[in-house]
Amino acid sequence: MSLELLIDKSFPLKDNNEYIDVVVDVARQFGVIPELPVVIEFDFYCRSVAEFPHLVSADGHKWIVSALVAVGMLPDRRWSRISGFVDRFFIDEKNPHVVVRIV
């Protein structure tokens, strides 16, 4: 099973709660807990190359995974639930966003 979430926001966001609010809104559509453990793939579409990839991905991992736990898509953040992450970075000056795939 694979789920894809489109988060129509630029990272990093200003407020930590904004991450959870954004992901909760998107994730509620699915309501399905994936088969565990999962690999979470992130496609970060940033405004410019001036954004540091390691900071963008660190924020994305932390707050998106927290939101997935908050809505019940993942039971917790333990290693037995998440076997890895895949990050890819792209430039989209007009529409910065994140695509998250849970596989």
More confident residue, 49 or 12: 49
Note the pLDDT of residue 3.
67
Question: For residues 89 and 46, is the Cβ–Cβ distance under 8 A?
Answer: yes
From CA 90, how far away is CA 88, in angstroms rounded? 7
How sure is the predictor about 56, in pLDDT bands with cuts at 50, 70 and 90?
confident
Pick left, alpha or beta for residue 72 (phi over 0 → left; psi -120 to 50 → alpha; otherwise beta). Answer: left
On the question of pLDDT at 97 being above 90, the answer is no
Note the pLDDT of residue 2.
63
On the question of pLDDT at 86 being above 90, the answer is yes
Determine the average pLDDT of the residues in 45-54. Answer: 84
Per residue in 58-73, pLDDT tens?
878 888 888 788 777 7
The domains of the chain, with CATH numbers, are: 3-102 (3.30.1330.70)
Note the pLDDT of residue 103.
82
The DSSP letter of residue 68 is H
